[in-house]
Chain A
Amino acid sequence: MLEIKNISKCYGKFPALTDVSLEISPGMFGLLGPNGAGKTTLMRIITTLLTPTAGEISMGNINWKKAHLVRNMIGYLPQKFSLYKNITVKEVLHHIAVLRGFYDQREKMVVDVLEKVNLLEQKDKKIKELSGGMIRRVGIAQAILGDPQIIVVDEPTAGLDPAERIRFRRLLHYLSKESIVIISTHIVEDIAATCEQAAILHKGKILKKDDLKSLSDMAKGKVWSMTLSTDEYFNISKEWNVISSQHLGDKYNLRIISETPPNGAVSATPTLEDAYLYLMGCVSE
């Protein structure tokens, strides 16, 4: 169990994180929040790239103050990963295996991770010749070299096409069988599709942490659905908080977040996205 206790981080006088506490069990954990919420700062603290201003992190008897020990059990894929463009996939991973201290085992290790991320055929291609999705897979390959106990992935599917996004989520889910996988994103769908538990971060503070069902239930009785004509749709969208609309022939099917139901609306089962938008709406009021 990864325990994050009362972590705060200030950049000068700006508080990027305030008193963040989380307990993360093996499996997939999502960190959800808008841009600027402090997700990347928290990821960098977990990966020992930044030291917190206050608080502590531990797993078993390993404390994050001993960063050199922690780095042996962490794999990290940042939001932007496009290192070593002129070098082949295999060479990059060999080099990273050396930096990770696996000089003798690197041959086998690299083949293993390339198989896991399905890049064996591209092993002799230069990084600059790969698609965005393939580069993300190289990124995850370097993160899982040596089977780390904790894998931290920042904005895993940003910039990927829908098919690559689904493939990447499946890969992360597979990895969570044996490791703690923490993904940080503002894309709710990434978390809804993969995680068992999640926390919502806003302006450096944890608003809520729970399993996905409980998080979704926060918006129970606040989400409404209704079908309207085009004219009615444009009128109602000015008055109510319409969070999604689906065009069905000459009509629109709307989802609305509101404390009270609009005329003619029926209660809808809330999704994680509904709950996230509801919570963000509450905190911005």
Chain B
Amino acid sequence: MKKKLDVFYDFKVMGFNAHLPFLISLLLILYSCLRKDALNHIIPALELTFPVFAAWWSIFLYQYILEEPGSETVFSYPTSRLQLGFLRAFVFFIFYLFLLLAILLIIDQLCVARIFLPLAVQLGSEVFFFAGLGFWAITMTANSGWSLVILVIYSSTQILTRGVLFPIINVFSFNTNLLNASELWFSSVHSFSLGVILWIWAQISFGRFHKYH
């Protein structure tokens, strides 16, 4: 397969939006170090912010392809929609996952010990869900602004109602301590399954996209 993914370029095109997840990560590390002994504050802070921003790259990665005038040229190139769509978004999801692992490792080493593995599983599956949600939102709306609105509505309604509103689509655990093995298993399988639906739906929608500007 010829090399058609250009990750460095994709980062550059996103401009400031590419850097925001790094900024959030720094703030979370800082917060965790300041609240060293308060795991019941650190876990909610991590869960309610970091996974949500997994949608950020998924949305802004497609801003130019789906939103800008003349973006139809991209679809006229001999690059498959699978490569343009799912593969690019998935590569950025993997990067985000590495970012999560890095943050957890730093917090684990510097602030609170033994959080790495359980939070990596819990937040990793939520990151997968939110990266899929971002990809789904941008392919459905072809507009980064509306995609962010979807993201904000989903997150705020779930957080404000503690997951009571539409519990079937809620991925937040709202835990203040580390989940035990069975809770972790249930919550991560649930988030991952919802994520799979979003990723597949998004790619189908991207494959059929022809509302060119």
Contacts and interface: CB of A to CB of B under 8 A. Distances in A.
A99 interface: yes
Given A91-B12, A98-B6, A76 B73 contact: yes
Interface string A96-111: 1011110100000000
Contacts of A101: 2, 4, 78-79
A95 B9 contact: yes
Interface in B181-213: 210, 212-213
Contact of B77 (A50, A83, A86, A96): A96
Nearest to A145: B77
Interface stretch (B28-36, B64-72, B101-109): B64-72
B87 interface: no
Nearest to A67: B78
Nearest to B65: A83
Contacts of B84: 99
Nearest to B77: A99
A45 B80 CA distance: 17
B72 A87 contact: no
A49 B78 contact: no
B62 to A, nearest CB: 13
B149 interface: no
A47 B77 contact: no
Contacts of B72: 44, 49, 76, 78
Kindly state the interface size class of chain A when it binds its partner. 20 to 34
Decide if the interface of chain B is mainly helix, strand, loop or mixed: loop
B76 A68 contact: no
A139 interface: yes
A176 interface: no
B188 to A, nearest CB: 35
A71 B9 CA distance: 22
A89 interface: no
Contacts, number: 79
A272 B137 CA distance: 48
Nearest to B75: A49
A67 B207 CA distance: 13
A65 to B, nearest CB: 15
A143 B73 CA distance: 8
B73 A78 contact: yes
Given A49-B72, A77-B73, A84 B64 contact: yes
Contacts of B74: 83, 99
Contact of B13 (A44, A87, A99): A87
Contact of A83 (B6, B9, B71): B71
Given A71-B78, A84-B64, A98-B4, A49 B70 contact: no
A49 B212 contact: yes
Contacts of B15: 86
Interface of A: 44, 47-50, 68, 71-72, 74, 76-78, 80-84, 86-87, 91, 94-96, 98-101, 103, 139, 142-143
Given A82-B68, A94-B9, A96-B77, 4 more contacts: A48-B76, A49-B76, A78-B212, A87-B13
18 contacts: A47-B76, A68-B78, A78-B70, A78-B72, A78-B73, A80-B70, A84-B64, A87-B12, A94-B9, A95-B9, A99-B74, A99-B79, A99-B84, A100-B77, A100-B79, A101-B78, A103-B3, A103-B4
